[in-house]
């Protein structure tokens, strides 16, 4: 050996910028980035949930209209078989209790000669509640209920006692139908004035139209479109239709 000793070249230290480039691991989101992401997600969810909720509500409206139509046909069929219409069931009876959903033997007629209660779903073999979980209100004009003799109390010249209005106040210009034999009311999503399955009646609030459809007289309000305070769905049948059905079944004349 010649005694020559080699030396190592010093390794240069990385700069701060280079160290940042070589650092391994994910970089966290900033508060601004997180805010933007959450805002975008909120807009996407709102765009999905909004139309979905509207579709679900439209489905409930359609289902409740179908139930009202089925109830209307069942009532006409009952009249053709029994010679008159069933009395309303008491709305104050809880589901499963004695008499709940059954038409009583005798109707209790109040102001305007109308008996008001709920649809006798058990008697007619129909669902108890509409799509929002409320019972259907059912009002019946006097002298049209079925008798044990199967002989109708009414004749070809009989008239119902129920009047339907498209708005208040009650006036000839606001009246849609006069002398209706019976009427059915679904109290809508709000359920104002309806009876629930426990036998409790939901408060009517202060809207005069809701109050009119929830009392025991012979006037009812039916609107083609709902609003924030009134979303009742109303179904009725003209007296002429009921009489025609009775003639068809041989109960009249």
Per the rule left: phi > 0, alpha: psi between -120 and 50, beta: everything else, 214 is alpha
Is 31 domain-assigned? no
- State how many domains the chain has: 1
- For the chain, the residue count is 253
Going residue by residue through the chain (253 aa), what tens digit of pLDDT does each one get?
Answer: 455 455 555 555 555 555 555 455 556 667 777 787 788 877 777 776 666 688 899 999 999 999 999 999 999 999 999 889 999 999 999 999 999 999 998 899 998 899 999 999 999 999 999 999 999 999 999 889 886 555 667 788 888 999 999 999 999 999 999 999 999 999 999 999 999 999 999 999 999 999 999 999 999 999 999 999 999 999 999 999 999 999 999 988 7
pTM of the model: 0.79
Is 23 domain-assigned? no
Is 104 domain-assigned? yes
Q: Which residue has the tokens 């049209």?
A: 144
Is 1 domain-assigned? no
Q: Which residue has the tokens 């989101």?
A: 29
Residue 152: per-residue pLDDT: 63
Residue 29: per-residue pLDDT: 66
* E strand residue ranges, the chain: 114-118, 137-141, 162-165, 175-180, 182-186, 219-221, 233-236
Is 3 domain-assigned? no
Is 198 domain-assigned? yes
Q: How many CB atoms lie within 10 A of CB 146?
A: 22
Is 48 domain-assigned? yes
Containing structural domain, residue 88: 39-249
SS3 146: coil
What contacts 243, CB < 8 A, 6 or more positions away?
Answer: 154, 156, 158, 252
What contacts 137, CB < 8 A, 6 or more positions away?
Answer: 91, 116, 117, 118, 119, 184, 185, 187, 193, 194, 195, 213, 214
Residue 33: per-residue pLDDT: 76
Residue 1: per-residue pLDDT: 47
| Exposure letters 173-194 (e unless 16+ CB within 10 A, then b) | eeebbebbbbbbbbbbbbbbbb
Q: What is d(CA 55, CA 3) in angstroms, rounded to the nearest whole number?
A: 93
DSSP secondary structure letter of residue 191: T
Residue 44: per-residue pLDDT: 77
Is 126 domain-assigned? yes
Comparing C-alpha atoms, which of 218, 245, 222 is closest to residue 235?
222
């Amino acid at each position: 050996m010649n005694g020559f000793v080699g030396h190592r070249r010093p390794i240069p230290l990385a700069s701060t910028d280079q160290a940042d480039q070589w650092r391994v691991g994910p970089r966290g989101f900033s508060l601004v980035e997180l805010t933007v992401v959450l805002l975008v997600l909120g807009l996407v969810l709102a765009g999905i949930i909004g139309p979905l909720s509207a579709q679900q509500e439209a489905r409930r409206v359609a289902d409740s209209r179908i139930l009202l139509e089925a109830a209307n046909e069942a009532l006409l069929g009952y009249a053709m078989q029994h010679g008159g219409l069933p009395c309303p069931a008491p709305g104050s009876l809880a589901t499963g209790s004695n008499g709940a959903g059954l038409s009583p033997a005798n109707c209790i007629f109040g102001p305007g000669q109308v008996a008001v209660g709920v649809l006798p779903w058990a008697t007619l073999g129909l669902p108890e509640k509409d799509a929002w979980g409320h019972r259907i209100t059912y009002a019946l004009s006097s002298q049209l209920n079925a008798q044990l003799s199967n002989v109708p109390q009414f004749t070809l010249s009989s008239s119902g006692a129920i009047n339907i209005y498209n708005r208040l106040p009650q006036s000839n210009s606001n009246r849609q139908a006069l002398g209706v034999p019976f009427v059915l009311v679904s109290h809508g999503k709000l359920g104002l004035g309806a009876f629930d399955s426990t036998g409790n009646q939901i408060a009517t609030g202060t809207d005069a139209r809701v109050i009119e459809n929830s009392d025991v007289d012979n006037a009812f309000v039916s609107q083609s479109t709902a609003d924030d305070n009134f979303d009742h769905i109303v179904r009725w049948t003209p007296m002429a239709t009921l009489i025609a059905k009775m003639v068809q079944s041989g109960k009249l004349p």
